[in-house]
Amino acid sequence: MNKLSLLKNGIIKENPVLILLLGTCPTLAVTTTAINGLGMGVSTMAVLICSNIVIAMLKNVIPDKVRIPCYIVVIAGFVTVVGFLLQAYAPAVNDALGLFIPLIVVNCIILGRAEMFASKNKVSDAAFDGIGMGLGFTLALFLMGSIREILGSGGWMNFNITADYIDPVAIFMLAPGAFFTFGCLVALINYLSKGKAIKKKEMGCEGCPSAVSCQLAGKGGCES
Amino acid sequence: MKEMIIILMSAILVNNFVLVKFLGICPFLGVSKKLDSAIGMSAAVIFVMVLATAVTYPIMSLLIHLNIDYLQTIVFILVIAALVQLVEIAMKRYVPALHKSLGVYLPLITTNCAVLGVCILNIDESYTYAQSLINSFGAGLGFMLAMVLFSGVRLRIENNDFPIAFKGIPSILIAASIVSLSFMGFSGVIDGLFGQ
C-alpha cells in the first residue's frame, strides 16, 4: 500500500479517536491542557510505532493461539521503556499523566492495530501505519486539550488568550467538561460529514480492547 | 476502622473510577444500554478488581524484594489476564449458572484499564493489603453505581428527539457529562463527614 495513503488514513480517514472512537479513556482523562494531550499522544505514538514494527517482524514466529498475550508482552515492554524515558527527560509530563502512562498497555488502539494491521503486513507498512495512527491520536488529543484549556483557563500553552475579557469556564478542565467537549466534537464531525464519517452508532465491541479475543464480539456484543 | 470507611467512601463517591478518574470508559459507554447487562458487567468488575488486587499486591512485594519492580506493568497485565482466564474456565466447569450471568463478561475485563488501574493505584498510594482490598472493592462499587445510574439515564434519553448530529454517541457523551457533573457534588463530602 502507498505509504502516504497509510499516513493519511491514520490521520484523517480513520482517525482513531475522532472517527473510530477508540482509546476514550486517555482521550477524556489527560486532555486537561494542550501540553498534556500532546505528551500522552507522543508517548502512545512511540509505543505504537515500536510495537507495530516488532509485531510485524515477529508475525511468522508468534503462534496463532497465544498471539494476544505475545502482543501484550511486546506492548508492555515498550510502555515500560517509554515510562523510564519520561521519568528521566520529561518529569513534568510524567507527573501530569501519572497512572495513564502504564495504562497505555491496555489502550485498544495499540492492541487493535497489532491484531488488525501489523500481524498481516510488511514491517515498513506497519511502521507507517503506526506513524499515521499515532499522529492521528496525537492531533486529536492536542485538539481536545487545546479546546479544554482555552475554554477552561483562558490560556493556551502558557499564552494568555481570552482570560482578560472572558471569564474562564473552569468546568471544562474538570471531568464533566471532558465528556462534554468530546461529545460536541463527535457531533461536529457528524454534522460536517452529514453522518457519514463515523460508522459506529453505538459504543460497541470495536471500542473494547478485548474485542479481538472475546467470544461475544462477533455475536452482537455484550448486550446480547 | 474509620480510615477504612474513608477509603471505601472516597473510592465510591469522591474519586469515582468512571466519572472522575476516567477508567473503564469503554464498558461504561458500551454495556450500559440495558440494566441487566450493566449489573452483570459491574458485578464481574467488582469480582475481578478485588481478585486482581489480592493477587498482584503480594507479587509486587516479591518484585520489590527481587529488585525488579520496573517489571510491574508487564507482570501485572499478564497475571491479571491469566488469572481471569483461569477463573472463567473454572466457573464454566463448576458453577455454570454463575458463568451464564457473570462469567461471560470476564474475558472482556482482562484488558480493562480500570482493573489494571486499581492494582497500580493501590501500589502508588502505598496502601496496606487490607486497605488495597477495600479500595478495590470501593472502586468496583463506584463503577457499579455509575453503570446502574447511567443505564437509567440512557433509558430515558433513548427515544428523545435530538438534533441529527447529536443522535447516538454524542448524546450519550453529553448525558455522561451531566451525570459526572452530579458526582462533583460529592467532592467535599468526606471532609464534611469525617472532619479531616
Least confident of A192-201, B32-41, B53-62: A192-201
If you measure CA to CA, which chain B residue comes closest to A69?
B78
The string of pLDDT tens digits covering residues B148-184 is 999 998 888 888 888 888 888 888 889 999 999 888 8
The whole-number pLDDT of residue A96 equals 86
Query: Which of residues A173 and A205 earns the better pLDDT score?
Result: A173
d(CA B10, CA B139): 9
User: Which cell goes with B36?
Assistant: 441487566
B117–A103 C-beta distance less than 8 A: yes
Chain A nearest C-alpha distance from B111 (Å): 6
Closest residue of chain A to B15, computed from CA coordinates: A175
- C-alpha grid cell, residue A16: 482513531
Q: If DSSP codes are grouped into helix, strand and coil, which group holds residue B57?
A: helix
Using an 8 Å CB-CB cutoff, list chain B residues near A216.
Answer: 104, 108
The tens digit of pLDDT for each residue in B122-131 reads: 888 888 899 9
Check CB contact under 8 Å for B33 and A223.
yes
pLDDT tens-digit series, residues B73-132: 889 888 888 888 888 888 888 888 887 777 777 776 777 788 888 998 888 888 889 999
For A170-184, write each residue's pLDDT tens digit: 888 888 899 999 999
Q: What is the pLDDT confidence band of residue A201, given thresholds at 50, 70 and 90?
A: low
Interface test with A, best of B110, B113, B143, B153 (most A CBs within 10 A): B113
- The predicted model gives A25-29 an average pLDDT of 86
What does the alpha-carbon distance between residue A169 and residue B77 come to, in Å, rounded to a whole number? 38
Tens-digit pLDDT profile for residues A91-103? 888 888 888 898 8
The pLDDT confidence band at residue A142, using thresholds 50, 70 and 90, is: very high
As a three-state string, the secondary structure of chain A is CCHHHHHHHHHHHCCCCCCCCCCHHHHHHCCCCHHHHHHHHHHHHHHHHHHHHHHHHCCCCCCHHHHHHHHHHHHHHHHHHHHHHHHHHCHHHHHHHHHHCHHHHHCHHHHHHHHHCHHHCCHHHHHHHHHHHHHHHHHHHHHHHHHHHHHHHCEECCEECCCCCCCCCHHHHCHHHHHHHHHHHHHHHHHHCCCCCCCCCCCCHHHCHHHHCCCCHHHCCCCC
pLDDT band at A163 (very low <50, low <70, confident <90, very high): low
Share of chain A above pLDDT 90, in %: 27
Nearest to B181 among A76, A176, A183 (CB): A176
Binary contact (A187, B33; C-beta < 8 A)? no
Q: What is the mean pLDDT of chain B?
A: 85
Q: Which of A179, A195, A208 sits opposite B108 (nearest CB)?
A: A208
pLDDT at A224 exceeding the cut of 50: no
Question: Could you give phi then psi for residue A14, rounded to 5 degrees?
Answer: -125, 45
Give yes or no for a contact between B110 and A210, defined as CB atoms under 8 angstroms apart: yes
Report whether pLDDT(A78) > 90.
yes
CB contact under 8 Å between B112 and A106, yes or no, is yes
Q: What is the mean pLDDT of residues A67-94?
A: 89
Q: What is the rounded distance in angstroms from the CA atom of residue B163 to the CA atom of residue B135?
A: 41
A125-136 per-position pLDDT tens digit: 889 989 999 999
Model confidence at B30: pLDDT above 90: no
**Cβ pairs A/B, distance under 8 A:** 167
What is the torsional sign of CA A147, A150, A151, A152? positive
Task: Answer for the pair B38, B32: CB distance below 8 angstroms, yes or no.
Answer: yes
| pLDDT at position A47 over 90 | yes
Instruction: Choose among B34, B117, B176: nearest Cβ to A223.
Output: B34
* Residues of B in Cβ contact (< 8 Å) with A25: 22-26, 113
- What is the grid cell recorded at B55? 493477587
The reply to whether residue B105 touches residue A106, judged by beta carbons under 8 angstroms, is no
Question: Which residues of chain A have a CB within 8 Å of the CB of B77?
Answer: 72, 76, 105-106
pLDDT for A215 = 55
Considering only CB atoms, A76 lies closest to which of B74, B164, B181, namely B74
Q: Do A72 and B105 touch (CB under 8 A)?
A: no
Least confident of A46-50, A81-85, A156-160: A156-160
Q: How close A65 comes to chain B (CA, Å)?
A: 14
According to the model, what pLDDT value does residue A136 have? 92
Q: What is the pLDDT of residues B126-147, one digit of tens each?
A: 888 999 999 999 999 999 999 9
Confidence class for position A212, pLDDT limits 50, 70, 90: low
CB contact under 8 A, A174 and B71: no
Query: Which one is predicted more confidently, B16 or A211?
Result: B16
> Closest to A222 (Cβ–Cβ): which among B23, B77, B108?
B108
Spatial neighbors of A165 by CB under 8 A, at least 6 apart, are none
Does pLDDT of A108 surpass 70? yes
ipTM of the complex: 0.86
Please give the C-alpha separations between residue A72 and each of A34, A102, A134, B49, B126, in angstroms, as whole numbers: 29, 12, 18, 19, 26
**Cα distances (angstroms) measured from residue B125 to each of A199, B10, B67:** 41, 14, 19
